[in-house]
Amino acid sequence: MISRRARDTAARVFGPVAELLHRLGVTPNMVTLLGTAGVCLGALIFYPLDQLFWGTVVITVFVFADLLDGLLARSTDSASALGGFLDSTLDRLQDGSIFLGLLIWAFTVGGEPGIGVASGACLVLGHLVSYVRAKAEALGFTADVGLAERTERLVVTLVFTGFTGLGLPTLVLLVVLCVLAGASAATVLQRILAVRSQAAERD
């Protein structure tokens, strides 16, 4: 639901930007690469330097590229299978960088090993959520159910990480990450059960 709303908002707000980029010869894949580089650098440089708020600001700015590249592709009729593959692959890199940056911060300057463990769990389970869906679709099943889609995980993590950088108690971030890890694990289970049900219907 959040993903659809975000795309609708992006179409209204960033439509003129996409048109300008098109006139300048910028391709959707260029935007994807730039956005990924910005997210990764923001997470892996600012977070370990104990700049949770500013790191989140940088990441958020570049996360909009994830909306802009799709908008640019659709508005210029340049969507391609390669572009979709690249976008999906680099999404995993962005997510991993955010949780890895948090993990590094937690085990170093943050002094919050619990948050480090929770971040690691979110990293692994978040990738597993995406993998289960991709594997299911490769086998001809559908597995788009679940409590914790990528957009929801990303928004929740960035919001609470940014506020932690502004003084929110770290315990709140720990609880949020634990809940997020639990929701991701539940999503993995939901998708496995969905595939199991579809496989049983085939047999």
Nearest to 59 by CA among 35, 77, 25: 35
Instruction: Quote the CA–CA distance of 137 and 119 in Å, as a whole number.
Output: 27
Residue 91 annotated among the catalytic residues of the structure: yes
Residue 202's H or E segment, with its range, is helix 170-202
Catalytic residue among 91, 95, 144, 203: 91
CB 117 within 8 Å of CB 86? no
Polymer length in residues for the chain: 203
Structure tokens at 202: 């085939």
Look at residue 203 and give its three-state secondary structure.
coil
Instruction: Quote the CA–CA distance of 163 and 117 in Å, as a whole number.
Output: 20
> C-alpha dihedral over 130, 197, 190, 133, to 10 degrees?
10
- Say which amino acid occupies 47: Y
Catalytic residues: 91
